[in-house]
Structure 1
Amino acid sequence: MTIFTLWLRHIRFLIHKEILAILKEPANRVILFAPAFLQAVLFGYAATYDVNHVDYAVLDQSRSQASTELLVHLDGTGVFNRTATLTSASQIKDVVMAGDALLVLTFPSDFESKLNQGLPSPLQVILDGRNSSTAGAAASYISAVVGDFNQRKMNNRSVISLETRAWYNPNLESRWGLMPTLIAALSMMQTLLLSALSVAREREQGTFDQLLVTPFTPMQLLIGKALPSVLVGLVQSTIILLIILFWFQIPMNGSIALLYVGLFSFNIAAVGLGLSISAISINMQQAMLYTFLLMMPLMLLSGMLTPVQTMPAILDALTYANPLRFAIDLVRRVYLEGAGIADIAFNFIPMLVMAVITLPLAAWLFRNRLY
């Protein structure tokens, strides 16, 4: 048996041991895979900026045919639900403050007369800005309804027709932009925590000292503990991918092979971070604390919820040390755009650089712990 074959055999034993340690408890098996499923489903239904139901109130001081026609058109969309018909402006504050209406429409008394004279007729929309994203979406819907009303009223005049086409997300559903990011984001949470607990678990269970008398080198220990975590991360990403494809039916336009190459690179970087945390942690509680402290900045600086381009310059610079930023960009572009390797090649560089830094750092920390 050659030295290299023996080296690989040692790694295989370590991987087998690590997988058994992860999966031997039924509770661990549930914790590893059930959260990925539940979080993907909950994000798909709950974490969406699309507005499908808007409660509104109306103050119609015009009581004209034009205002009635516009309100009928608004109610007929299936999105807007009239909860109150007001009789005075003093009631507006109470309706909004009580949360009975997201917006209030106010028609002035001269609404129809100005329209008949060909003059601009203002329509006041009062929005509850406590939820700015929902209010903004509702205002956009109102603008679309009013625009359609104007076009029908001006059907005897020459008007400019604006046609808008959205690439990669034709219906502009926020779910399409959010769900693919979960393929990387949700798997990272489990992968980072799992790898961070690996060495800390050995210390807490008293088996870490046994590694001192084994023939394994620090590099073999590193590989043996890294690959099972990478495998778990890829399995979780697969679960989320299947939910997005078949449950929410968001079509994938890119290469599945390229997607998994990117996910493999990302998981190596994430495991490198986790093993570095694990190597410096004394016990599992400390490893969990370090992991949770790190996860929040990684999520906020990833571009998952807010574009990186809108962040201050100093935070934009910090995102280059965040592998999740480039994994999310890679997954989005491959999944939605059908991007090729040339289009996303740059995203591999920061992830691989992070892996090149963190994995040797973890190996160095292992070496100092072992010897």
Structure 2
Amino acid sequence: MLARLIALIVKEFLVILRDAKSRMVLIGPPLIQLVVFGYAASFDLNHVPFAVYDQDQTALSRELVADFAGSASFQEVAVLHSPDRIKQLIDSRTVEMVLDIDPRYTRNLLLGQPAPVQIIVDGRNSNTALLILGYANNIISSVSESWSAVHGGTAPYARLIPRALYNPTLDSHWFIVPGIVALLTQVITLLVVGLSVAREREAGTFDQILVTPLRPLDIVIGKSLPGLIIGLVEGTVIILATHFWFGVPLLGGLVLLYTGLFLFIAAVTGIGLMISSLASTQQQALLGAFLFMVPSIILSGFATPIANMPVLVQDLTLINPMRYALVVIRDCFLGKPDFSMLLPQFAAMTALAVISLVAAGWLFRKQSV
């Protein structure tokens, strides 16, 4: 029986690796997506185009403008002499912010009174607008503190001293790129496993497998192990690129990381086999895989916090293995967790893996009847 099972596993590897198109799917797209996501996906803002409407026209107001223009977060693209063009520039997306300096700016500073400065932002993207306001507030607060220190003005009653653990520079790539490990591993595993049975059906060889002495459990194992191994190899390549190419620290150790990765791939493999066993053609299997992947990424916390979702949607994320994998992977990269801290995630992925693989075995058994 073991020899027949090994033969089935070898056959699966040969089917996947002999086809040049299959090899390209395994190698090319993951690397391209890793580079695109790694460099393009970011919550940070750089070179935000802004316009200046300086109604004060003094040395102090020009210093404030210089502080904005000299920041890596902003780029001055226009100087306005009237408020007429403000709405036009924002409507056309030429600028995302307008720095409007009140004509009383210098006078109020010299009198020790609050100096009015207005920040006008494009609120169509609320997340971007909040980030811009935060950056602008930091610059204005810094200018205000410097003025108070030099001229003896009223200092703020409290001074914020930020300190970020695990990600001292608050680089959003350190949050996003480890998540890509789970995302791309899921994509590749689902495609490899999800197309396996559908490919056999189209080729007419699936019925031949069903009449062999192999039991449904043997077929599930034989179909699962190649996808599991390929998923681990792909995950390893992405982990190496995340650490050595993108410079994300790997602080939590490889044992916990690979334990979580193995359980995650096992759960995804079971889901892929379920999709594949229900599909009659490779096209149906491909559509089924993407039908699962898109919601699983949205409901995983990859980009938006699960805590911000409605309660019903939060409950739905409990059956999503990627939700737990992201916690494990990000903690292993940026923190130093112990086994007990990650045990709830390990237990959840184990339960999902067992349920999905048992369900896949039941579907295979149903097909063989």
TM-score under structure 2 normalisation?
Answer: 0.96
CA contact (8 A) 1:44 1:175 kept: yes
Partner of 1:361: 359
- The letter for the 1-side match of 2:69 is D
- The letter for the 1-side match of 2:254 is I
Q: Pick from 287, 290, 293: which aligns with 1:292?
A: 290
CA contact (8 A) 1:36 1:239 kept: no
- The letter for the 2-side match of 1:11 is L
Partner of 1:199: 197
Once residues 73 and 357 of structure 1 are traced to their aligned partners in structure 2, the CA distance between those partners, rounded to angstroms, is 58
Task: Give the Å deviation of 1:74.
Answer: 1.7
Partner of 1:351: 349
Partner of 1:168: 166
Partner of 1:10: 4
CA contact (8 A) 2:300 2:320 kept: yes
Task: Give the Å deviation of 1:235.
Answer: 1.2
Partner of 1:3: none
**For each residue in 1:103-136, what CA deviation from the matched residue of structure 2 results, as whole angstroms up to 9, or x when unmatched?**
0011111111111111112211011123333332
**For each residue in 1:52-106, what CA deviation from the matched residue of structure 2 results, as whole angstroms up to 9, or x when unmatched?**
2111101111112221111122222233221111011111011111222110011
Give secondary structure in 1 for the equivalent of 2:195.
helix
Partner of 2:135: 141
Once residues 32 and 132 of structure 1 are traced to their aligned partners in structure 2, the CA distance between those partners, rounded to angstroms, is 37
TM-score under structure 1 normalisation?
Answer: 0.95
Partner of 2:261: 263
Once residues 165 and 199 of structure 1 are traced to their aligned partners in structure 2, the CA distance between those partners, rounded to angstroms, is 52
- The letter for the 1-side match of 2:219 is L
Given the alignment of the two structures, is residue 105 of structure 1 paired with residue 99 of structure 2, yes or no?
A: yes
Give secondary structure in 1 for the equivalent of 2:214.
coil
Once residues 20 and 314 of structure 1 are traced to their aligned partners in structure 2, the CA distance between those partners, rounded to angstroms, is 44
- Tell me the percent identity: 41
Given the alignment of the two structures, is residue 224 of structure 1 paired with residue 218 of structure 2, yes or no?
A: no
Given the alignment of the two structures, is residue 91 of structure 1 paired with residue 89 of structure 2, yes or no?
A: no
Once residues 342 and 49 of structure 2 are traced to their aligned partners in structure 1, the CA distance between those partners, rounded to angstroms, is 43
- The letter for the 2-side match of 1:286 is Q
CA contact (8 A) 2:248 2:333 kept: no
CA contact (8 A) 2:50 2:77 kept: yes
Partner of 2:147: 153
Partner of 2:179: 181
Partner of 1:281: 279
Partner of 1:38: 32
Once residues 245 and 128 of structure 2 are traced to their aligned partners in structure 1, the CA distance between those partners, rounded to angstroms, is 25
Give secondary structure in 1 for the equivalent of 2:83.
coil
Once residues 281 and 73 of structure 2 are traced to their aligned partners in structure 1, the CA distance between those partners, rounded to angstroms, is 53
Give secondary structure in 1 for the equivalent of 2:162.
coil
Q: Pick from 104, 113, 121: which aligns with 2:115?
A: 121
Q: Pick from 220, 224, 238: which aligns with 2:236?
A: 238
Partner of 2:66: 72
Once residues 210 and 130 of structure 2 are traced to their aligned partners in structure 1, the CA distance between those partners, rounded to angstroms, is 61
Partner of 1:51: 45
CA contact (8 A) 2:68 2:139 kept: yes
Partner of 1:323: 321
Once residues 218 and 210 of structure 2 are traced to their aligned partners in structure 1, the CA distance between those partners, rounded to angstroms, is 13
Greater Cα shift, 161-170 or 217-226: 161-170
CA contact (8 A) 1:53 1:80 kept: yes
Once residues 36 and 260 of structure 1 are traced to their aligned partners in structure 2, the CA distance between those partners, rounded to angstroms, is 19
Give secondary structure in 2 for the equivalent of 1:81.
strand
Gaps of 5+ in 2: none
Give secondary structure in 2 for the equivalent of 1:338.
coil
Give secondary structure in 2 for the equivalent of 1:55.
strand
Task: Give the Å deviation of 1:367.
Answer: 1.3
Task: Give the Å deviation of 1:336.
Answer: 0.9
Once residues 32 and 167 of structure 2 are traced to their aligned partners in structure 1, the CA distance between those partners, rounded to angstroms, is 25
CA contact (8 A) 1:41 1:243 kept: no
Once residues 78 and 271 of structure 1 are traced to their aligned partners in structure 2, the CA distance between those partners, rounded to angstroms, is 44
CA contact (8 A) 2:189 2:227 kept: yes
Once residues 276 and 139 of structure 2 are traced to their aligned partners in structure 1, the CA distance between those partners, rounded to angstroms, is 56
CA contact (8 A) 2:189 2:230 kept: yes
- The letter for the 1-side match of 2:44 is D
Q: CA RMSD in A?
A: 1.3
